[in-house]
């Protein structure tokens, strides 16, 4: 990997921040790049993580999201500093390091903990001025990338499934309230997947949610929709989905009714996330010039069934 000026300076900042927390002589000085993508670069130095956010990140919105993370201990990992700093035109934030979920060990996935954290997040009051949750906007961005990719046989059913979604799920209208009721503003994560949980302090502290970039006010079903979509597509076994849903209900999560069929509440968001996942799968497979694997095909097949 070529070290860009951003990456090398971000590494320096992470080191300086880590050494301001720990005496340099006691620091093991291990540095690692955790992520380096156009929409975010993340560097770790010992117990400190520095994140350069996406180039189009708005300062006031990110600061409002950091404030939420700082005020919900036990649910969200709190940042080390309350406001972002500037580096090469990007906004940078600092976080304590936490241990992530092991991608090699499906049996150890913390489904109950993830569900309980979401329920507690959804039951927390949303502070005034917090921007909307960005889930629908991310789905729309995935579709824009699909439209910019050479059409594949799988493209058409995915675009058809997208067109069948209501306008709010395509980020083309605000989410409507129920008839006769104002929409209760619910605090949502906006991009929940298993990479968004860490144990802090590492390695055996409690699980916490990370990554506030998409956090905001919206419909809480969106945060349950990825596991729901994986289950519907046959990628998540029914008992793991049921563990997740049962724990969310046990913690009085408001996204689904306390009992009975949860799908009327989940369907639109789960369809949107299935479409988003299928779109990105086609974009990535086309860029790599390889066919869809069976997992990616399962998500496209679900889009095909939505239109039938």
Residues forming contacts to other proteins in the complex (CB under 8 A) are 101, 103-107, 109, 138, 191, 193-195, 226, 230-239, 241-242, 245, 261-263, 267, 270-271, 274, 277, 280, 293-296, 298-299, 301-302, 305-306
Which is nearer to other proteins, 70 or 194 (by Cβ)? 194
Closest among 37, 48, 33, 28 to 201, alpha carbons compared: 48
Residues 6+ apart with CB under 8 A from 277: 229, 299
Which is nearer to other proteins, 18 or 210 (by Cβ)? 210
Closest among 99, 305, 85 to 197, alpha carbons compared: 99
- For the residues of 125-141, what is the DSSP string, one character each? PPPTTPPBP-HHHHHHH
Q: What are phi and psi of 265, to 5 degrees?
A: -80, -25
Which is nearer to other proteins, 68 or 265 (by Cβ)? 265
Minimum separation from the CB atom of position 288 to other proteins (A): 13
Minimum separation from the CB atom of position 12 to other proteins (A): 27
- The 10 Å Cβ neighbour count of residue 251 is 16
- C-alpha–C-alpha distance, residues 105 and 109, integer Å: 7
Which is nearer to other proteins, 18 or 140 (by Cβ)? 140
CA angle (70, 90, 74) in 5-degree steps: 15
Minimum separation from the CB atom of position 162 to other proteins (A): 13
Which is nearer to other proteins, 12 or 304 (by Cβ)? 304
Minimum separation from the CB atom of position 194 to other proteins (A): 5
Minimum separation from the CB atom of position 239 to other proteins (A): 5
């Amino acid at each position: 990997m070529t070290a860009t000026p951003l990456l090398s300076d971000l590494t320096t900042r992470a080191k300086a921040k880590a050494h301001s927390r720990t005496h340099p002589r006691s620091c093991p000085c291990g540095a690692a790049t955790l992520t380096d993508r156009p929409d975010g670069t993340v560097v770790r130095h010992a117990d400190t993580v520095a994140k350069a956010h996406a180039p189009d990140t708005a300062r006031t919105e990110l600061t409002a999201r950091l404030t939420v993370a700082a005020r919900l201990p036990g649910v969200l990992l709190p940042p080390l500093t309350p406001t972002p700093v500037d580096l090469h035109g990007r906004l940078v934030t600092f976080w304590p390091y936490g241990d992530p979920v092991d991608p090699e060990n499906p049996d150890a996935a913390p489904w109950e903990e993830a569900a309980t954290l979401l329920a507690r997040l959804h039951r927390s009051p949303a502070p005034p001025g917090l921007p909307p949750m960005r889930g629908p906007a991310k789905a729309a961005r995935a579709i824009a990338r699909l439209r910019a990719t050479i059409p594949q046989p799988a493209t058409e059913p995915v675009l058809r499934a997208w067109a069948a979604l209501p306008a709010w799920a395509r980020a083309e209208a605000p989410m409507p309230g129920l008839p006769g009721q104002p929409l209760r503003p619910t605090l949502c994560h906006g991009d929940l997947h298993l990479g968004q949980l860490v144990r802090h302090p590492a390695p055996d502290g409690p699980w916490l949610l990370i990554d506030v970039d998409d956090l905001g006010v919206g419909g809480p079903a969106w945060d349950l929709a990825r596991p729901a979509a994986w289950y519907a597509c046959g990628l998540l076994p029914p008992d793991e989905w049921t563990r997740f849903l049962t724990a969310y209900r046990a913690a009085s999560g408001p996204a689904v009714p306390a009992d009975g069929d949860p799908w009327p509440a989940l369907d639109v968001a789960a369809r949107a996330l299935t479409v988003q996942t299928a779109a990105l799968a086609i974009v990535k497979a086309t860029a790599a010039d390889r066919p869809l694997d069976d997992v990616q095909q399962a998500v496209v097949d679900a889009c095909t069934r939505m239109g039938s």
